[in-house]
Every structure is written in C-alpha cells, then in structure tokens.
C-alpha cells in the first residue's frame, strides 16, 4: 500500500474501516482470504487482521479450515430484525407460494433501496427465462416490473430526479427516455400494476404490483416473471394483485381506510 493510501486510511473513522471490511464481501466475492479483504477494503494488512479478528469473534465473519473468511450467521440474526428484509420475507412467503401455485412461474419480492430495487425473495418457476435473480441482487428501478411499481409510488421529487438522471439500457427495449418513463409510471399508478417487457433480457416479461404497509405507503413489490412469447398478461394480473393485497393485509394494511 502506498504512503498516500496509508494516509487515506488513517483519515477514515474506525466505523468506516469496520464497514469497509464487511463491504468487501458481495455476491461475486462470498469468500475471501485476509489479503483479499485488505485489498478490497483499502486497508493495511495489519488493520484488516485486527478488524477481521474482532468481527470473527463477534460472529459477523466465520473462518473455515483453509483460513478463508465468510459472512457469519450473527449477521443473519441481526438482518432478521429488518422490517424490509427477512421479517418482510417471512410475512410474504405464504402469499408468494400461493402465487407460484397459481401460475407455476418465477415469483419475486423486492424493496427499493435508493435508485435500485433489491430482491429479498425469489421462487424459481418452471419457465426458463434469461434473467436469473438471486436474493440480494440489485437492478435499476426503471428496468424491472417490481422497480417500476416501487418507483411509481415513491416521492414525487424522487421520481423527477430519477427520470432526469441517466437511464441505463440493457436491451434495445429498456426504457431510457424520461418522457416515456414518466408516462409509464403514470400508467402504473392508474392501473395498479406494472408490466415490464424485454427490459433486462429479450425473452422475459414481468407483471408486478405494489405491497403496502400498515399506513398505506408502498413498502415492497411482488411480481411474476414469464417468457415473453405466449405470456398471458390478462391472466397474470389478477393473481399478482391478489398476492400483493394479501401481503399488504398481513402487514396491517386496511384497504377500506385508504
């Protein structure tokens, strides 16, 4: 590590350095040796060793027989307390399973984190589609059905900022025009569902509906993802709506009061 890098590390607070160690792990790097943690976190080997030791002792990290580190179960225990994470998943799972039984298609549950959608549950269906989502995976809001459902019901100022920002394209069909995106969001609010076709891969179509919390605010979205060819959208919409409404009720939403 260069002298400038060491100085930069010294300027970071202790919590920043600790979080940098945890941030070194992601879907592409679920297992890391100490040297890799040090490099990815931007820390000296000595500092990384000290912080990794503390995290391992607490249970946030686990070290296997080969000296490789993995995320520890203690973090899962803490994550289970998150109302938009495992706790939401536990409430929603029976309705997601019902949606799968009604459609035998790929079923998703997702929440918004800033300008991205984060998938917190995925039930794989019989149909093979090009996009394969993992729990914890992220996509820009405008490119997915669940993302459109969440964006359409977010704060108006945030919607305007998002529409005016860069809109990444993944296929020729991805919405990248701000005016078109605004019209799409208005249609989602009018119809109560979002239909996203060929935005991430050319073969997939998704139908999504918003999930509301106790106070009526949209806190999540549920969807089915099917092959675009032969997709029976009118038949999928009621099934997705029923699942979203069931989860909302389980979260304490009372539709008659909204």
Distance CA 186, CA 208 (A): 15
Among the three residues 79, 109, 132, which one is the final residue of a domain in this structure? 79
Residue pair 226/205 in contact by the 8 Å Cβ criterion: yes
Query: Is position 185 within any domain?
Result: yes
Query: Is position 98 within any domain?
Result: yes
pTM above 0.85, yes or no: no
Query: Is position 258 within any domain?
Result: no
- Give 15-56 pLDDT, tens digit per residue: 999 999 999 998 789 999 999 999 999 999 999 999 999 999
- Give 93-119 pLDDT, tens digit per residue: 999 999 999 999 999 999 999 999 989
Among the three residues 79, 97, 128, which one is the final residue of a domain in this structure? 79
- In this structure, are 145 and 224 located in the same domain? yes
Q: How far is CA 113 from CA 26, 154, 218, in A?
A: 16, 11, 13
pLDDT of residue 135: 77
Query: Is position 255 within any domain?
Result: no
- In this structure, are 123 and 204 located in the same domain? yes
Find the domain containing 164 and state its range: 86-250
Among the three residues 26, 46, 79, which one is the final residue of a domain in this structure? 79
**What whole-number percentage of the chain has pLDDT above 70?**
90
Number of structural domains found in the chain: 2
């Amino acid at each position: 590590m260069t002298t400038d890098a060491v100085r930069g590390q010294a300027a970071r607070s202790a919590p920043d350095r600790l979080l940098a160690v945890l941030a070194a792990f992601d879907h592409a790097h679920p297992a890391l040796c100490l040297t890799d943690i040090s490099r990815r976190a931007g820390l000296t080997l000595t500092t990384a060793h000290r912080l990794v030791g503390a995290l391992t002792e607490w249970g946030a990290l686990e070290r296997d027989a080969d000296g490789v580190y993995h995320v520890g179960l203690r973090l899962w225990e803490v994550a289970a307390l998150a109302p938009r994470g495992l706790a939401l998943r536990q409430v929603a799972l029976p309705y997601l399973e019902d949606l799968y039984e009604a459609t035998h298609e790929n079923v998703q549950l997702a929440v918004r984190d800033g300008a991205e959608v984060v998938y917190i549950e995925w039930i794989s269906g019989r149909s093979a589609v090009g996009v394969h989502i993992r729990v914890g995976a992220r996509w820009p809001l405008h490119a997915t059905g669940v993302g459109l459902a969440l964006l359409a019901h977010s704060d108006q100022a945030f919607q305007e900022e998002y529409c005016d920002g860069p809109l990444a394209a993944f296929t020729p069909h991805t919405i990248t025009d701000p005016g078109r995106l605004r019209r799409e969001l208005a249609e989602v609010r009018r119809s109560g569902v979002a239909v996203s076709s060929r935005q991430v891969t050319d073969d997939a179509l998704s139908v999504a509906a918003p999930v509301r919390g106790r106070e009526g605010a949209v806190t999540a979205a549920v969807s089915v993802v099917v092959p675009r060819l032969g997709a029976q959208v009118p038949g999928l919409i009621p099934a997705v709506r029923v699942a979203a409404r069931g989860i909302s009720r389980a979260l304490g939403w009372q539709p008659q009061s909204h």
